[in-house]
Chain A
Amino acid sequence: MNIEILGMGCAKCHKLEDMVKLAIQETGIKAEIGHVRDIKKIMEYGVMTTPALVIDGKVKVAGKLPSLADIKQMIGGK
């Protein structure tokens, strides 16, 4: 699984990265995490608000910080 966090370095973007790492750790799911900071790349996903969470190329969340439980559900670990 490929997880990307889109954000140009705002506080909530870093928080999202930490939460995703935690979610992966707790569920034991194997995934690669990338943090996309380049605005041109961020725009390619069509989002206008950050932080955004992209899983396998699909935008799952944009403009808000999801809860840990939601992230776990999105990456498929219950």
Chain B
Amino acid sequence: MAECCTTDNGNKKKINYYIPFLLIPFAILIYIFLEQGVDFFVYKILQLDKSAHLTEAIRFFLYDTPKVFILLTVIVFVVGIIRSYFSPEKTRKVLEGKPLFIGNVMASTLGIVTPFCSCSAIPLFIGFVESGIPLGVTFSFLIAAPMINEVALVLLFGLFGWKTALLYASTGLLIAITSGWVIGRLKLERFVEEWVYEIKAGDFQMEERKVTFNDRIQAGYTAVVDIVSKVWIYIVIGIAVGAAVHGYVPENFMASIMGKGAWWSVPLVVLIGLPLYSNAAGFIPILQALLEKGAALGTALAFMMSVIGLSLPEMIILKKVIKLPLIIIFASIVAAGIMIVGFLFNLIY
């Protein structure tokens, strides 16, 4: 969601709708044979020493970079198509009149698929509150939307495996649902700026244009161009740093700092993550390397959620419509949720 407002093809050339479908089988083929290909290239063609640190780092980089990019392109494309079926206006309509708990569940789930960017946070917030959607439900949406995003999921899936990706998505969803529900129960409406309730929002009167399937393919394609052009550099740097850590940092180096034994590392990483609004793209590859060197999974998950889900810039934007106490309550509840997730996974694994 950090990507600011999608472009509607911009002025870019339209592509034929069948091109992506021709390319996807190719991507899958490369993906399947990537590891063998890289091994062949590194050991047979470059004839690098198998035991050297540098070889390990190079192999890691050559393998992970294309893998992540293939996944990113395919998944962002698919998500772009799925998102074209949703809009904040439609989501609002669905959420209207829903009671607290069900509303929280629906808002969090819709937060994942509804196209939304932080620069639209204020009109969206006002639009939701205006139409009578409870504050807690609105917050569920605002928490889930940035936390569970496709770039984070792709990287988690590519670098950590599907279990971790699923774990992240489901615990993120759970945090969004419960935090929103708690905020709803606390009845904090008085901390919303008064003028928000005074606004008379007009009816949305945009003419509906018929959206063809070709348009949706275009939306997917545009999403790929938009997102990949924005995050590729962070991914490359992240994987490079990760590769260096992978090759050079000794085994178990992180165990004492971010390991299971260091319980204090969970609240610490959440605090560090709060002002950091790094995009998931550069951050997750580094985290993967740290995990390999003995950091605990719960601590790593908590760090990730704090960096991606709790962002200072978004809170500053929201400050225009809600008063400071509510921002602090909101941040603390989400932070508490993230810490619980961190402790829980450190206990289980």
Contact = CB atoms under 8 A, between A and B. Distances in A.
B4 A12 contact: yes
A68 interface: yes
Nearest to A51: B5
A43 B92 CA distance: 14
A66 B8 contact: yes
Interface string A54-78: 0000111111111110100000000
A46 interface: yes
B123 A60 contact: no
Given A40-B195, A58-B205, A65-B10, A48 B5 contact: no
A44 interface: yes
B126 interface: yes
A43 B127 contact: yes
B251 to A, nearest CB: 45
Contact of A48 (B4, B123, B199, B203): B123
A67 B87 contact: no
A47 interface: yes
A17 B120 CA distance: 17
B8 A70 contact: yes
B202 A63 contact: no
A40 B120 CA distance: 14
Contacts of A65: 5-8, 10
Contacts of A46: 127, 201-205
A43 B7 contact: no
Contacts of B200: 43-44
B9 interface: yes
Interface in A1-38: 8, 10-12
Contact-residue size bin, chain A (C-beta under 8 Å from the other chain): 20 to 34
A63 to B, nearest CB: 6
Nearest to A58: B205
Contacts of B128: 48
A63 B88 contact: yes
Contact of B126 (A10, A43, A51, A68): A43
B6 A63 contact: yes
Nearest to A65: B7
Given A44-B201, A46-B202, A48-B127, A11 B4 contact: yes
B204 A64 contact: no
A68 B4 contact: no
Nearest to A68: B11
Interface of B: 4-11, 87-89, 92, 115-116, 119-120, 122-124, 126-128, 130, 195, 199-207, 320
Nearest 9 CB-CB pairs, A to B?
A48-B127, A46-B204, A10-B119, A64-B8, A46-B202, A59-B206, A12-B5, A48-B88, A49-B120
Interface of A: 8, 10-12, 39-40, 42-51, 58-68, 70
28 contacts: A10-B5, A10-B119, A39-B126, A39-B320, A43-B201, A46-B204, A47-B127, A47-B206, A48-B92, A48-B123, A48-B127, A48-B128, A48-B204, A49-B5, A49-B120, A50-B5, A50-B119, A58-B206, A59-B206, A60-B207, A61-B8, A62-B89, A62-B204, A63-B115, A64-B5, A65-B5, A65-B7, A70-B8
